[in-house]
Chain A
Amino acid sequence: MAVGLDAAVAAADGQLAVRTPRSCSPVLAMLVLVLMALLASGCATQTPALLAQPPVGLPARVELADTPFFPDESHFCGPAALATALSAAGLPARPDELVGRVFLPGREGSLQIEMLAGARRSGAVATLIPGTLEALLRELAAGHPVVVLQNLGLSWAPSWHYAVAVGYDLDAGTILLRSGPMQRQALALRTFEHTWKRGGHWAFVTLPPGTLAATASEAETSAALVAFERAAPPAASVTAYRAGLQRWPGSYTLQMGLGNASYAAGDLPGAEAAFGRAAETHGQAAAHNNHARVLLELGRAAAARQAAQRGLAVAGPLRATLLDTLQAINAATPAAAR
């Protein structure tokens, strides 16, 4: 069936709008709608294939029963879900403390971007995971509770909601959620998928620095770590970047991040090594510039000048920055030594 649920419902909605002025009774409209919904119920979802042939290496049943629960009956499912995920990651948090960080009174809810930023401010690396059920289940199997955005209503009558997935049962075809007032909601995986799909398949994990999401891509992990560096203590960032580099040793962003975080933590040799590797591997002007600055602080002026000149050769937009760096090197070295 090619027609998606949302399209079908939107079509039904369109018919409602067109027909109402004439003779369409609510009952008839309802029948149309039910028919459309029935027709759409076979639309492309991941659940049937996943249940028919579970991915290799995925346990049949997982429940992260130790995950705490913060019941919520009002608009604070954002802070509640975040507190749940953070506490599970060993970062104690309470919903009432998080309200001021993620809740938007005018919208009576919490926005996705601020959920991620709020998690980081509590000391967690918040990483988006791929929007597939398999990725979601794999995170759970790795012991990571997953914060999900659901649209419990319909695309044209949304009811946005954050919940935390804490387990699943492939035999029963259910997913387990900490959700609003429900401590252990066993929701049919198929139903969950519909609500999650209407939430844009959006999900993230909050993990302590040094632990990586099991399924996140290099790009999402890098974005999460760079954003984490912004708010985190430098030592925590160093730990986080090191873990990232273990999985993706060649990543330019992670190498630069490790350099900057090491420098901020006062570890000049560590920063020198990281920037040096980034400069050698990727030849980017920013890497040469930062390498030169650290070499200068380490008292290795000749090496610093060499690095800055290599950077200047490829400077592009960073020309002014590299000229500043060269000037600082010249200012620090007696003219006779040049």
Chain B
Amino acid sequence: MKRIQRLLAVLLSASILNVSAIHSAQAALVPTEEAARLATVTQTESGHARLTAALARDDVRAEMLRQGVDPTLAQERIAALTDDEATRLADQIDSAPAGGIIGAILLVFFVLLVTDILGLTKVFPFTRSVR
């Protein structure tokens, strides 16, 4: 919710200040990422995409710090993201699959044992599929 409010605030102030100001502030050459985006979306969408990405980078940084990432490392990690990736990551950092958690809770242990044996899952190294 806070993010939406911030997004709205920036969008509104940007529309007052004229979104094209953002374009003239950049380097003389249009970067590849923006050129590719401009070829497929409208002006308003492209401007919004850049604003959203800028906000998303802040959000991702805050969330990374909260999740225990060192601030310097977080900065470098965010710099390596494209606008599109930063936007998606800001939405998903809490919910997206985080590969690394092996082992299931006790409640589903037997279920997984059975499905392992059926060859539908592969949680336990000692199971051998019946088929």
B partners with A: yes
Does A204 make an interface contact (CB < 8 A)? no
User: Does A195 sit at the interface, judged by CB under 8 A?
Assistant: yes
A199 at the interface (CB under 8 A from B): yes
A-B interface contact total, Cβ < 8 Å: 228
User: In whole angstroms, how far apart are the Cα atoms of A75 and B103 in the complex?
Assistant: 10
11 pairs from A and B in contact (CB 8 Å cutoff): A104-B69, A105-B68, A108-B98, A110-B99, A111-B97, A118-B80, A187-B122, A190-B119, A260-B31, A284-B39, A328-B28
User: Cβ of B1 < 8 Å from any Cβ of A?
Assistant: no
A200 proximity list for chain B (CB < 8 A): 97
B residues whose Cβ falls under 8 Å from a Cβ of A: 20-21, 23-24, 26, 28-36, 38-39, 42-43, 46-47, 64, 66-70, 73, 76-77, 79-82, 84-85, 88-89, 92-93, 96-105, 108, 110-112, 114-115, 118-123, 125, 129, 131
**A117's contact among B34, B77, B111, by CB below 8 Å, is which?**
B77
User: Contact at A78–B99, with CB atoms within 8 Å?
Assistant: yes
A40 to B119, CA, bound (A): 12
Interface locus among A56-64, A132-140, A155-163, A205-213: A155-163
B73 to chain A: closest residue by CB: A100
- Shortest CB-to-CB span from A81 to chain B, Å, is 8
A317 touching B23, Cβ below 8 Å: yes
Given contacts A111-B92, A117-B85, 9 further A-B contacts (CB under 8 A): A114-B77, A153-B104, A153-B123, A190-B131, A260-B31, A286-B35, A290-B30, A317-B42, A320-B21
For the residues of A in contact with B, the DSSP-based class is helix
Specify which of B76, B85, B119 is in contact with A113 (CB 8 Å cutoff): B85
Q: Which residues of A contact B105 (CB under 8 A)?
A: 157
Residue of A with least CB distance to B63: A106
